[in-house]
Amino acid sequence: MRIAGWIFALLILAIGLINTFWGNDPGYGIFDILASSVFFKPATDFLAKKTGVVIPIWIKVILALLILWTALGVAELFDKIDLMVKDFA
């Protein structure tokens, strides 16, 4: 589960970076970048140690599904990836 969490955290972080710099809604990208910290184990351990708040797995699953749904559907992620590739080409 740890490896899957890290992979998913990096995926959400990449989605956030793409939406921040190549999208028309940098606020959504910043939200994704901040939300990716929920999936990084050191960040959740730090939050639990400092505040005592533990994020349940079902909230992480709902957040993950919501981010994927909005990134792939509403935020037009593939169009933004094309813009990014054209910028680097």
One pLDDT digit (tens) per residue for the chain, 89 residues: 688 889 989 999 998 998 888 877 889 999 999 999 999 999 999 999 999 999 999 999 999 999 989 888 877 888 888 888 888 87
User: What range does the domain containing 41 cover?
Assistant: 2-88
**C-alpha to C-alpha distance for 16 and 9, rounded to whole angstroms:** 10
- Residues 60 and 43 sit within 8 Å (Cβ to Cβ): no
Count of domains observed in the chain? 1
Characterize 63-82 residue by residue with b for buried, 16 or more Cβ atoms within 10 angstroms of its Cβ, and e for exposed. bbeebeebbeeebebeebee
